[in-house]
Structure 1
Amino acid sequence: MVELTLAIAVLQRPDPLFTLWRRRTLHTLPRSVGPLLELVPATAKGPLFLDPLSLGFDDGLDQVLSAPTPFVRTELRRVHAAGHRPAPWTRLLADRDREAWKILEHAVRAANTDVLARSWDRIRAGFDAERAWRVQLLAAQGIRATLAGLAPGARWQGTTLEFDSTDNVEITLDGHGITLLPSVFWTGRPLVGRYAEGTFLVYPATTPLPLLDDPSANALATLLGGTRATILEQLTRPRTTTDLARQLDLAKSSVSEHTGALRAAHLTTAHRDGKSVWHTCTPLGLGLLTGSTSTTKRWLPQRN
């Protein structure tokens, strides 16, 4: 349900990575999904009763339809106070108007069918790859470095983890922990949701949906995307940007973009020699290629 509402938000966001996906999805989107576009803003900060944590779609929809009225009213007020003005019919949800809730149910069902279900195998493969990647980082670097690596600019100030945000919000866990929810749709700043079950942090998965290959592809391609996985495999020995562009039949600008992403993930390094930029795998990148973690542990800096 979280991915469903994030997908609805992405349909309204000018994210270049999702331009083609957004165009294709909107072209075939049934009118019955329209009410969700009115209720969930592009910021994805819609009412929390729309995306409960669930074991599956049917369970999630049941929770949406049975959300306690005080919770529904509180969340609608919060969304209104944030400056997003949903359509007038959404105000009827707070009054438990039967017709309004039928509209919402049809919208959620249609969105699941036409937005989420078609890509669910890829979404699940991306989630599994993300979880495997974070577990590897956790084993090699520890919890502090793993959490700080969830988003660009994240940093620790003592025992407080800070993320860049347009909102000034402080969340105190009081020893109850936090659940991480990677999203293949969301590419913005991390989002925090406070549910009865606890606090949840939604963050961008390493590989967003448009870059996810068919789940039958190898795990490395699922994690990084086919082109980046191929580039990483080529960098078991040093190669220049020109070499990679020629061998893979890509523009140099495209190669630079992919190698930049691999370098940001500490999978490759680069150094300039005259007019040429040479790229090569780091021990972490080699460990990912070979499935070995021994070199990874030696290369990664130690964190307290």
Structure 2
Amino acid sequence: MLRVHFTVADLVRTRVSDGADPLWETVLSLHRLQDKSPDPALAVWRHPGDGARQGPLEMLLPLVPRRGYFPDFLTPAAGAAGIEHGLEALMSTPRTRLRDELTVLGGRNPLPSWVRSLADGEPTALRRLARAVGTYYDRTLGPNWARIKGRAHTDRALRLQALWHGGAEAMLRTYGPAMRWRSPVLEVAYPVERDLHLDGRGLLLVPSCFARSPVALADAALPPTLVYPTRARSADDAACTYKGLAPLLGPTRAAVLQALSGAPTTTELARRAGVSLSSASEHAAVLRGAGLVSSVRQSNAVRHALTPLGSALLREVRP
């Protein structure tokens, strides 16, 4: 178990990432690629004999074992600003950090001989690694990035609603069962026993479509980061939720409630639910009065988002 220890200052500084991080998604998708049944978006990389595909994997898979430790330098904080910024930061990793982290990795897994030049910080080796990461991202995550980003934004909206309405502790309670808030400690299901003291630095929570379970940076001296699996809903789940809500709310209002993921504007809500603009506004007002929806004006638009109660209703309703 990982125990994350908070102070009052840490709760104030705890935040949710703006969205999916391309380098974290790259590394965690490499974990999933090694599963027996990977995400369909990754299946193209499982066919042997294609040198264009196998080249990047020959370099990346030894650094990202299916289970356990992988180097923190593969997921620099700069990656949150985009894949290009992340790759630049990766190529600028200090030699001492490369050597230390690859030594830890080599103590747990056999490594190919070329890793020695990477541990020595040779610019050519770092460029080759960045090129392998970039190629894998461009061919796999890049074409699916809109879907990945959309899932992360939907999940983030859920967390922020809890934050706005109840504060950081209320938000931390939304991550169960793998992450349980027992003030002042967040208990995280983890393969090793570990304590992480935030010491006033706060915690960055990063949603991930490819994370199997929560994962944190190994080096406690780095900015505290915890990546967690997004709460995904399949088309079958959505259909079941609609069937369960329709008798309670009526078919139109149920459709409006279900269309509220990602804090849409009234215009976007009307389009998603297939109703007129005035009807969307009216139904949103009724749902807001019931405590299921909150609405905030931004410039000339009004954005609507699920409250924790509305999110809980969508999660729990079944036919």
Q: Following superposition of structure 1 onto structure 2, how do residues 1-304 of structure 1 map, counting pairs within 5 Å?
A: 1-14=23-36, 16=37, 18=38, 20-27=40-47, 30-34=53-57, 35-43=59-67, 45-54=69-78, 55-81=81-107, 83-194=108-219, 198-207=223-232, 224-237=233-246, 287=292, 291=305, 293=307, 296=310
- For the residues of structure 2 that align with 1:118 and 1:137, how far apart are their CA atoms? 32
Residue 24 of structure 1 aligns with an amino acid whose one-letter code is V
Q: Write the distance in 2 (CA, Å) between the matches of 1:295 and 1:76.
A: 46
What secondary structure is seen at the aligned counterpart in 2 of 1:177? coil
Could you tell me how far apart the structure 2 residues matched to 1:109 and 1:298 are? 38
CA distance 1:115–1:21, change in 2 (3 Å): closer
Equivalent position amino acid for 1:175 in 2: G
- Give deviations 1:192-235, integer Å, cap 9, x for gaps: 4547661100111112xxxxxxxxxxxxxxxx333222221111
Q: Distance in 1 between matches of 2:181 and 2:136?
A: 38
In structure 1, runs of 5+ residues without a counterpart are: 208-223, 240-282, 300-304
Q: In angstroms, what is the RMSD of aligned CA positions?
A: 3.2
Secondary structure of the equivalent of 1:180?
strand
- In structure 2, what is the Cα distance between the partners aligned to 1:145 and 1:295? 12
* Cα distance in 2 for residues equivalent to 1:139 and 1:69: 42
How many percent identity over aligned positions? 27
Q: 1:297 to 1:75 in 2, by over 3 A?
A: closer
How far does the alpha carbon of each residue in 1:7-45 deviate from its partner, in whole angstroms, 9 at most, with x for none?
A: 11211134x4x3544433423771221210121111363
Cα gap change, 1:237/1:56 in structure 2, threshold over 3 Å: closer, same or farther?
A: closer
Determine if contact 2:203/2:224 at 8 Å carries over to the other structure: yes
Question: Is residue 193–residue 200 contact of structure 1 (8 Å, CA) maintained in 2?
Answer: no
The 1:196–1:101 alpha-carbon spacing in structure 2 relative to 1, beyond 3 Å, is: same
The separation in 2 between residues aligned to 1:101 and 1:297, in whole angstroms, is 44
Number of corresponding residues: 237
2:32/2:39 contact within 8 Å kept: no
Question: What's the secondary structure of 1:230's corresponding residue?
Answer: helix
Q: Secondary structure at the match of 1:181?
A: strand
Q: For the structure 1 residues 99 and 145, does the alpha-carbon distance in structure 2 shift closer, same or farther, using more than 3 Å as the test? A: same
**Of the two structures, which has the highest relative contact order with CA contacts closer than 8 Å and spacing of 6 or more?**
2
Kept in 1, the 8 Å contact 2:209–2:230? The answer is yes
Contact 2:32–2:210, Cα closer than 8 Å, also in 1: yes
Residue 172 of structure 1, CA deviation: 0.3
Alpha-carbon distance, 1:140 to partner: 4.2
Shift in Å at residue 96 of structure 1? 2.6
Q: Give CA-to-partner distance per residue, 1:60-101, whole Å, 9 cap, x none.
A: 1111111000111111122223x1222221122111334433
Aligned equivalents of 2:291, 2:243: Cα separation in 1: 11
TM-score, structure 1 as length reference: 0.67
Q: Which amino acid aligns with 2:243?
A: Q
1:253-293 deviations in whole A, cap 9, x for unaligned?
Answer: xxxxxxxxxxxxxxxxxxxxxxxxxxxxxx99993799564
